[in-house]
Amino acid sequence: MNQEVFAALNEALQKGEQVALVTIVSSTGSTPQRVGAKMLVYSDGRTVGTIGGGCYENEAFWKAREAIATRKPVKLKYDLNDDFAQETGLVCGGQMEVFVEPVEPSPELYVLGAGHVGYFVAKLAYEVGFHVHAIDDREKFANTERFGDGIDVIVDDIPAWIEHTLLLPTSYVVVVTRGHTHDLDAMRGLATRPLRYRGLIGSKAKVKRIFDALLEEGIPADALAGIHAPIGLDIGAITPQEIAVSIVAELIAVKHGRTSEPNVAAMSMRWDGALARR
């Protein structure tokens, strides 16, 4: 049975699907399944395998769905007493612990802009486990000789690439193009995409100009609220390498659920402007 679960898990990771693995990690007395029994739960409710059935499996199923959404593991304890056995029809009388672990594929990171900052972001993010794609319309910057093995390099017009590319909700996108106009074009295509992370490089003044322009075009304010801008953790970074460290540090924090809120340092100016125009 577990071979079927492992095969399904591998397939899910290959497809970029979010799942949770439910495993019996300890048991005493009489229980429906032995230690090590597993069930795979998909975000859409599909399951593969079993940890024994009954209402406790149903509860574990819903906890698994919750773990997929929160990206946080949980340990469950069940006392399979006589009352439990009578309610479920199971012949058992022991205790059992179940570990629910959300499992995701290596996160997809799309670096829009292959200049100096984009280059160092891509290289560092690859080293810490992201599946990195670098996109730029300049072959001089976007080429495999420059980025090396392991990083997917795409030469294309960035707005056109955004329009024709399916980005999964678990994707991370960093906008570090070569100028204000290019950043605005990229954010126009990304503003309403439901992504795990959207980040925009630039000063507070530049971020405000871009957000004001998007608001004028009719982009909902709520959509812009989820954008990390200015991008990166505030570590006083100056050089492209230091800026890349601050950006990748923020990506790691989001990946591990340590922060889910965008940098709102420039938000108040933007909201004041939006309210004044309404």
Contacts of 231 (CB under 8 A, 6+ apart): 174, 175, 176, 199, 200, 201, 202, 246, 247, 250, 263
What is the pLDDT confidence band of residue 1, given thresholds at 50, 70 and 90? Answer: low
Instruction: Say yes or no: 113 and 248 in one domain.
Output: yes
Instruction: Say yes or no: 91 and 20 in one domain.
Output: yes
pTM of the full predicted structure?
A: 0.76
Q: Give strand pairing partners of 39.
A: 22, 49
Two tokens, residue 84:
């439990």
Q: Which domain-ending residue is among 83, 103, 123?
A: 103
Give me the long-range contacts of 254-259 (CB less than 8 A, separation at least 24): 254/172, 254/196, 254/197, 255/107, 255/172, 257/70, 257/71, 257/72
Instruction: Say yes or no: 127 and 202 in one domain.
Output: yes
Q: How far apart are the first and last CA of the chain?
A: 60
Two tokens, residue 172:
């991370």
Distance CA 219, CA 20 (A): 35
Sheet containing 74-79: give its strands across: 47-49, 38-42, 19-28, 95-103, 74-79
Number of helices (H), then strands (E), belonging to the chain: the values are 11, 10
Instruction: Say yes or no: 94 and 145 in one domain.
Output: no
Two tokens, residue 134:
């670098």
User: How many domains does the structure of the chain reveal?
Assistant: 2
Query: Residue 126 in contact with residue 144, Cβ under 8 Å?
Result: no
Instruction: Say yes or no: 92 and 177 in one domain.
Output: no
Q: Which domain-ending residue is among 103, 127, 150?
A: 103
Q: Provide Rg for the chain, Cα atoms.
A: 23
Query: Residue 45 in contact with residue 54, Cβ under 8 Å?
Result: no
| Angle of the 204-216 helix axis to the 267-277 helix axis, nearest 10 | 30
Give residue-wise pLDDT tens across range 236-267: 999 999 999 999 999 999 988 776 466 544 44
Query: Residue 130 in contact with residue 107, Cβ under 8 Å?
Result: yes
pLDDT of residue 95: 82
Instruction: Say yes or no: 134 and 271 in one domain.
Output: yes
DSSP 92-149: ---EEEEEEEEE-PSPEEEEE--SHHHHHHHHHHHHTT-EEEEEES-TTTS-HHHH-T
Q: Select, from the ranges 47-51, 96-100, 121-125, 224-228, the one with the highest average predicted confidence (pLDDT).
A: 121-125
Give residue-wise pLDDT tens across range 32-68: 778 999 999 999 999 999 998 777 888 899 999 999 9
Give residue-wise pLDDT tens across range 129-171: 999 999 999 999 999 999 999 999 999 999 999 999 999 888 9
Q: What CATH number does the domain containing 150 carry?
A: 3.40.50.720
pLDDT of residue 265: 44
Q: Which domain-ending residue is among 78, 103, 128?
A: 103
Give residue-wise pLDDT tens across range 105-124: 888 999 999 999 999 999 99
Domain range for residue 246?
108-277
Distance CA 109, CA 128 (A): 12
Query: Residue 38 in contact with residue 49, Cβ under 8 Å?
Result: yes
